[in-house]
Amino acid sequence: MKRRDFIKKFPLVAGMPFAIGGVPVKLYAEQNTYTRMAAGSTNDNVLIILQLHGGNDGLNTLIPIEQYDQYYSRRANIAIPANNSVRKVIPLDSTLPTPDQVGLHPDMNAVKELYDQGRVKIIQGVSYKNNNGSHFRGRDIWFMGGGFNDYYSSGWVGRYLQNEYAPQQYPDDFPNTSMLDPLAIELGSDVSLIFHQEGNIPTSISLGSDPVAFANLVDQLNGFDDEGIDPRGKPPVSLDNSPYGKELNWILNLEDKSEDYAQRLLEVYENSGTTSITYPETYPFNAPTGNLRNTLSPQLQLIARLLDGGGSGLGVKTKVFLVKLGGFDTHATQVESYDPTMGVHASKLYHISSAMKAFQEDLRARGIEDRVLTVTTSEFGRRISSNGSFGTDHGTGAPLFIFGQGVIPGVIGTNPDLSPENGNVPMQYDYRQVYANILLDWMGVEKETINNDVFYGNFIDGPKEDGGVYEKLPIAGDGVTGFEEFVANKYFIESLYPNPAVDEAVLSFHINTELQVFITIMDAKGRIMKKIVKKGLQAGAHRIKLDVNDLKTGLYVCEFQAGIYKETKKLIIRK
């Protein structure tokens, strides 16, 4: 290969993302002294950051039920119907305090299902102080992990990774036998600040179509044959320490790294079987051209496949992934003029909801669901009032969603004040407070490291600039205790009375969503004696009479099933 051809082609490998399974991928490392990078992570947990590019409208994502009249009055032309509609607000959790009652957009049924399975955490009013509503500046602030007047050249994930691993040099020592994989992977074509380290620019590798084509491309970068000095066109050894020699050595070293990473990811990808789970591909309703295809699904599907790697710990050990879904800058036609539940925003919420549900099912089927946590991010929310173009303008606070088996499920925060004097959704929680608690409880990072080396301040339980103290947020746990407690508070039998019963007993219970309820009475040997199905029960408390007049004296079991929840009670019948 001619040197000029190499220089032209090399940026395709070193300066842009490549693709696996048709998804553009970026591999992050550091140019010079990427310290503490060996496989020294304290756990194998993985964090996925889902960027909602453009500023998501939180008020049409998470609708304030108890403030619905004010909500409707401030945005009547785009408000999601509460009643008298097939497509209406989905009540989230009837057990939340009255002021905190919220509902989901009608295209977020899958998020409701995940919530009821204990796999969703929602945090209200996430932002940063003095949010100026700028796309570029706002995104930089969220990515760098600073405040409105900070200008860091590094990102918070980059600083976390730099402090997470034992000291080794990149690229000299990587990849190695203990760490074959990139520490972070970005899916998409941008180079995001979030992975930068101080004084270093992340490198990336690019391909247009698939891992096989990428491997073939890298294979072509096997040196130069036009110099007659070195197979790779290197200058004489005497020039190694010259600026030219150092630069070329660095480029050729990156070539080697690109080849190593390409072969490794190709191997993992090919060894990992295709999923049995069906990921959603398109939006099933009306949406403008360009919004029908679910571009999040292939990104998540690829991550599941790379993490699996064929099972038994053969997948990549990459710690952080960044995935993206655009189209949230909805100044105009956020909704369709004839139906506020349809349109661009609806399709995006459906894509998130349905893709995340498939992703969780895929991870569960592969046996790795307990390792992965996904958190959404968006540079800002939208203003409370809609505009005359069936859209919304740049705002401040918005809800943040966290998905995974490891979340402590529920809702943190309360509904915003939608009084006419308020133009924006106020901040309740600093975004760094959320990320700091994720690093602490999920990624296992020491509190001192988070405070001193990642966020340059104590956003876990330290003092706030304007008074008060940051509260510890219950975001991530072991994925078992939190779920059991969550479900026990949402679905339960209150009583089975009278017991003993003669002719009739009353089963009192509570459910947290509209669904079918199955009640089965079995004898002591497990034989079904009666089966009662109650369809379409609303969320809340219910009482159902059980006719046991035809049952003989004896010990029975009453089984109550609502969705994934099942509970049994002993029932004694005496004649």
DSSP 58: T
| Paired residues of 26 in beta bridges | 186
Q: Which long-range contacts (CB under 8 A, 24 or more apart) does 531-537 make?
A: 537/511
Does the CA dihedral 34-36-37-41 come out positive or negative?
Answer: negative
The pLDDT of residue 176 is: 75
SS3 (DSSP) at 277: coil
Strands 23-28 and 18-20 turn out to be antiparallel
For residue range 158-187, list pLDDT tens digits in order. Answer: 899 888 874 654 556 667 787 788 888 888
Collect all residues with Cβ–Cβ distance below 8 Å to 472 and sequence separation of at least 6.
437, 460, 461
List, in order of start, the domains of the chain with CATH numbers. Answer: 3-29+59-482 (no CATH), 491-573 (2.60.40.3080)
Dihedral sign from CA coordinates of 333, 338, 344, 345: positive
Per-residue pLDDT tens digits for 347-400? 999 999 999 999 999 999 999 999 999 999 999 999 999 999 999 999 999 999
Task: Indicate the pTM of the whole model.
Answer: 0.86
Neighbours of 570 (CB within 10 A): 11
For residue range 15-63, what is the model confidence (pLDDT) as tens digits?
Answer: 344 555 556 565 554 333 333 333 345 689 999 999 999 999 999 999 9
Q: Identify whether the C-beta of residue 194 lies closer than 8 Å to the C-beta of residue 188.
A: no
Which of 196-205, 313-322, 353-362 has the largest mean confidence? 353-362
Instruction: Estimate to the nearest angstrom the gap between the alpha carbon of 425 and the chain centroid.
Output: 22
The string over 518-548, giving b where at least 16 C-beta atoms fall within 10 Å of a residue's C-beta and e elsewhere, is bbbbbeeeeeeeeeeeeeebebeebeeebeb
Distance (Å) of CA 103 to CA 149, 231, 356? 35, 65, 18
Give 97's DSSP letter: -
